[in-house]
Structure 1
């Protein structure tokens, strides 16, 4: 997650809620509902997620490649996990997990390396990769923009240039026209709010141009949504928002609320939690994600909040996972397998309380390049990029857990989380504290 936005929003949330929490006596907090785990529908979509820049390796000229080469990032990207050449074996690993969806991005910087010049070799790579996902029995989830654009667009000013939306749409329509026949799920723009802040943080966008970039992202989403539906009236199209505790409704006013009529499902990414007992989410703001709290019950509150604010729209958890430092055990002792299973429990609790959740993607199948560093590890399969030239995929304890989950279509109704719910979660405060689930 981008450092400046996360830091400021967590600080805002803590300040806003300090008085609230102090003013709510312990005996005023309701006991919550009795435990009950819903059985998920047979068509529930279990998946894994990735992005091109973070996993393909040997990236072409782009805004992010330039940022990395400037020395601003602690680690060079190099080969990353070499998904570019190992996609068939990684897709096979996902299929063995029982995944039904594989999220990928199709990188504009590869497809159009120079203005108006389409690289047919790169399109052939994406043709083969998408076809391999389908052949393995999975549905592609295609991200059109995962924060990366060609270097020649950066030369023109990136999203500060009024011409960028038209160039973006030209490429996006090309991708949609080529892959609509595979009936993918579509993500137009990955985490739009973070995209804007990341552009400012890396120096690619003047801060004064941020509102204009938001407006342009809204415009291109609305336009490409219509184009996708002209090609496939039954298409499922969305964008995914990184859920920030407490202040998410304020963030959503900038993008989600403005495109809500052109979302076939709500995409939500959930990672970090906040509570009076553990306000350590600030660790994620200083690139120590493995120290940030990841209370799984926060997913319940994020889903409940979205269901209350957008009651007519189904929800898909596009990204969710847990970071470790170089694959070592977390200081809090939380294992990836337990966290994953707990997340699924709380997802099923949300569906039992009437929240329409249609799918869940784990971030990510393998470790990858986390926007400047290989230290944070999120993968179901760990890959030691900097010390293992073979880039061997080694299963974590969560691989077996995810196989059990997909085979059973969730956790058993008798399952109880390995950790109790937070006494006063601030994920969707004040309701997550004053109307808790137990």
Structure 2
């Protein structure tokens, strides 16, 4: 399913000075006036919607620090302890995935998922330089074993923004020794799980990793550039290493899509490694258009105040595929935060969100985009890099008020299970959210052309 590479929210987003934003918008507007509308984007009503193929990869995503609890010394435990930028809640033991993972793996399999994404936490495995914690290695061994025994494929992230305390003490990515330390650890993990069908992710959302380090350490501009360059070199070396150690295993990184700032997000790592990925990994949470500027709430961390723009995912998929037509595309993260688990004021539900986004993925499939997988972020609520207020989970967990940490299904569980079982939305499905007018994802088609439209009137949310 994965070919060889050709040559060519969980996340916060980067605030920029107004002058920079104005410049970016000006460039985007100029490009819009000269670009060519992508094929199929200006279709009339009544478009074809492809069913997902039988081999499609349906997944759920988790990450170590956000969900495991019982976390050892690391850059992020230190940020929480000293209440760095954006930290509002104590970490406690998060949702205690570390001790409840067998049940969570069963929940994922109960959805019909065939991919389970988790991270191998360097801080847990190597709490001191050269000292590997055998108990924690046994935990990851059993996690991978259970994922595979449940009929799911492991997607393993080697770095989800967290490194050991001793790495932080040596200057993290400022230190020229850190890339070799990271690669030594990564190689040991790839050797341990080679031949087990793993899909490897090197660095989760490099742009947001750099952003959080910039805000939390903080980094000065020189350190920021040093970290960026180190991540690029390390990913490139990791790609080659993984293909030597685990031949045939697909390798990529997942890029955070960032609306008007996407050029900057891609520049963090993605643009410099497109010859060292086997698939395009995309994380899509929100878009932006002239009638929907609520993405600005990402700058304050109030993600639940953003109005979802499902059709933006269609444009994003087409744009990335056009840039790298030889590679397949995997949606590594997609989800919707609620405000502390409360319903949205407009009535839009997690089930609506999943169905609407997958409708537009099916539209992209019908128009030739090689989408091979989709992961919902996340299986359960978790620690969203400073707090428990944003809730992304298919299963709700009230960390601050429920000592039992009970997993309670949201309406998204039944919806996602049905979509997997039926290989997508049913024929004639009408998205709850109408397509945006003048979307930043494809301004030519949506400002000056005909917006892709469902075949029937919209349900009233506006």
SS of the residue aligned with 1:260? coil
Task: Provide the rounded CA distance (Å) in 1 between the counterparts of 2:195 and 2:100.
Answer: 24
Determine if the alignment matches structure 1 residue 162 to structure 2 residue 176. Answer: yes
Structure 1 equivalent of residue 273 of structure 2:
259
Determine if the alignment matches structure 1 residue 48 to structure 2 residue 56. Answer: no
Query: Structure 1 pair 210/359, CA: closer, same or farther in 2 (3 Å)?
Result: same
Alpha-carbon shift at residue 226 of structure 1 (Å): 1.0
Query: Structure 1 pair 45/345, CA: closer, same or farther in 2 (3 Å)?
Result: same
Query: Structure 1 pair 417/326, CA: closer, same or farther in 2 (3 Å)?
Result: same
Alpha-carbon shift at residue 413 of structure 1 (Å): 2.6
Determine if the alignment matches structure 1 residue 417 to structure 2 residue 431. Answer: yes
Structure 2 equivalent of residue 32 of structure 1:
43
Alpha-carbon shift at residue 293 of structure 1 (Å): 1.9
Among residues 330, 340, 348, which one is paired with 1:316 in the alignment? 330
1:336-359 per-position Cα deviation (integer Å, ceiling 9, x unaligned): 101100000000000111100000
Alpha-carbon shift at residue 90 of structure 1 (Å): 0.4
- Please give the residue correspondences for 1:159-308 in structure 2 after superposition, counting only pairs within 5 Å: 159-308=173-322
More helix by share: 1
Determine if the alignment matches structure 1 residue 426 to structure 2 residue 440. Answer: yes
Query: Structure 1 pair 209/14, CA: closer, same or farther in 2 (3 Å)?
Result: same
Task: Provide the rounded CA distance (Å) in 2 between the counterparts of 1:167 and 1:358.
Answer: 33
Structure 1 equivalent of residue 82 of structure 2:
70
Contact 2:311-2:357 at 8 Å conserved across structures? yes
Task: Provide the rounded CA distance (Å) in 2 between the counterparts of 1:138 and 1:114.
Answer: 32
Contact 1:314-1:356 at 8 Å conserved across structures? yes
1:305-342 per-position Cα deviation (integer Å, ceiling 9, x unaligned): 10111111100000000010001011232111011000
State the Cα RMSD in Å: 2.2
Alpha-carbon shift at residue 247 of structure 1 (Å): 3.7
Structure 2 equivalent of residue 395 of structure 1:
409
Alpha-carbon shift at residue 16 of structure 1 (Å): 5.2
Query: Structure 1 pair 433/318, CA: closer, same or farther in 2 (3 Å)?
Result: farther
Among residues 373, 381, 401, which one is paired with 1:359 in the alignment? 373
Task: Provide the rounded CA distance (Å) in 2 between the counterparts of 1:407 and 1:398.
Answer: 14
Query: Structure 1 pair 85/11, CA: closer, same or farther in 2 (3 Å)?
Result: farther
Alpha-carbon shift at residue 273 of structure 1 (Å): 1.5
Alpha-carbon shift at residue 207 of structure 1 (Å): 2.6
Determine if the alignment matches structure 1 residue 101 to structure 2 residue 115. Answer: yes
Task: Provide the rounded CA distance (Å) in 1 between the counterparts of 2:26 and 2:327.
Answer: 31
Q: Which moved more, 1:196-205 or 1:274-283?
A: 196-205
Structure 2 equivalent of residue 340 of structure 1:
354
Alpha-carbon shift at residue 94 of structure 1 (Å): 0.3
1:146-196 per-position Cα deviation (integer Å, ceiling 9, x unaligned): 000000000011111111100000100011110112111110000011111
Task: Provide the rounded CA distance (Å) in 1 between the counterparts of 2:368 and 2:60.
Answer: 25
Structure 1 equivalent of residue 137 of structure 2:
123
SS of the residue aligned with 1:261? coil
Contact 1:244-1:427 at 8 Å conserved across structures? no
Structure 1 equivalent of residue 96 of structure 2:
82
Structure 1 equivalent of residue 105 of structure 2:
91
Query: Structure 1 pair 227/136, CA: closer, same or farther in 2 (3 Å)?
Result: same
Task: Provide the rounded CA distance (Å) in 2 between the counterparts of 1:375 and 1:11.
Answer: 31
Contact 1:274-1:293 at 8 Å conserved across structures? no
Contact 2:260-2:288 at 8 Å conserved across structures? no
Task: Provide the rounded CA distance (Å) in 1 between the counterparts of 2:373 and 2:431.
Answer: 20
Alpha-carbon shift at residue 222 of structure 1 (Å): 1.1
Task: Provide the rounded CA distance (Å) in 2 between the counterparts of 1:331 and 1:248.
Answer: 29
Structure 1 equivalent of residue 38 of structure 2:
none
Contact 2:256-2:265 at 8 Å conserved across structures? no
Alpha-carbon shift at residue 141 of structure 1 (Å): 0.3
Report how many residues are paired: 433
Contact 1:301-1:428 at 8 Å conserved across structures? yes
SS of the residue aligned with 1:316? strand
Alpha-carbon shift at residue 82 of structure 1 (Å): 0.4
Query: Structure 1 pair 10/327, CA: closer, same or farther in 2 (3 Å)?
Result: farther
Task: Provide the rounded CA distance (Å) in 2 between the counterparts of 1:320 and 1:6.
Answer: 24
Query: Structure 1 pair 148/61, CA: closer, same or farther in 2 (3 Å)?
Result: same
Contact 2:13-2:258 at 8 Å conserved across structures? no
Structure 2 equivalent of residue 377 of structure 1:
391
